[in-house]
């Protein structure tokens, strides 16, 4: 990025929207000066300017909740920036995943957001293996059992589609996707790996 294109305000700052690169969720709104942007581009870690302290603010420096920056975007007018990040821990000082956790108007979540949330939960279940967890039970049963579930759910999807039953198809497709995500998690792949493969095939 050519920082000469960035239109800093009279205080030398530009607003930064931080977005989860996996789900599209907006995590926080902060500000950056030229030094913070330069450090973000160099280190690929979210760096901002703290207006209250008057110093650079390196996200996660004290909390450990760092944000791995995968892309930095400048808007059409040059007066706002987006950091697309992979967060390692909550973005909000309250412990919430996002600073924007108080809805004034509820809306439905899109597939990318939901897949990201479900995958994160699967990773947590596989890490902690809590008692009574369906994921933990399948994990303990072994990969062959999980793969058998994929076969079963794929068959149910086929039957629902053959019967032209949209409601049943919706439920069975969701079950199939859930078990596919579990298989990816078991083998160390992520939804982002699939996204990169699909995008490489899709783009002109």
Give the integer Cα–Cα distance in Å for 78 and 76. Answer: 6
Q: Where are the alpha helices (DSSP H) in the chain?
A: 34-43, 111-128, 134-141, 143-162, 166-186, 191-202
Domain boundaries, the chain: 3-87, 111-202
pTM score > 0.75 for this model?
no
From residue 193, give the alpha-carbon distance in Å to each of 22, 25, 31, 120, 122.
10, 18, 31, 14, 16
- CATH class in words for 3-87: alpha beta
pLDDT in tens, the chain (204 residues): 779 899 999 999 999 999 998 878 899 999 999 999 999 999 999 999 999 999 999 999 989 999 999 999 999 999 999 999 989 889 999 989 899 999 898 878 888 888 988 998 999 899 899 999 999 999 999 999 999 999 999 999 999 999 999 999 999 999 999 999 999 999 999 998 898 899 899 876
DSSP 45: B
Choices 1.10.460.10, 3.40.50.460, 1.10.287.1080, 2.130.10.10: CATH for 111-202: 1.10.287.1080
pLDDT, position 109: 81
């Amino acid at each position: 990025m050519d920082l000469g294109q960035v239109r800093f305000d009279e205080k030398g700052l530009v607003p930064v929207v931080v977005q989860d690169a996996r789900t599209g969720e907006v995590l926080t709104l902060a500000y950056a000066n030229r030094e913070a942007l330069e450090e973000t581009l160099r280190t690929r870690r979210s760096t901002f300017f703290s207006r209250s302290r008057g110093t650079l603010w390196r996200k996660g420096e004290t909390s450990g909740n760092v944000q791995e920056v995968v892309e930095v975007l400048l808007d059409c007018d040059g007066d706002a920036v987006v950091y697309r990040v992979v967060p390692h821990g909550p973005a909000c000082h309250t412990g919430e995943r996002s600073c924007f956790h108080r809805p004034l108007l509820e809306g439905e979540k899109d597939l990318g957001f939901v897949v990201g949330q479900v995958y994160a939960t699967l990773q947590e279940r596989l890490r902690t293996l809590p008692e009574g967890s369906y994921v933990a039970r399948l994990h303990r049963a072994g990969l062959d059992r999980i793969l058998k579930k994929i076969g079963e759910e794929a068959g149910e999807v086929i039957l629902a589609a053959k019967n032209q039953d949209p409601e049943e198809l919706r439920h069975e497709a969701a079950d199939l996707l859930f078990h596919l995500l579990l298989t990816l998690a078991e083998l160390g792949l992520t939804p982002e790996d699939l996204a990169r493969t699909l995008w490489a095939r899709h783009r002109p």
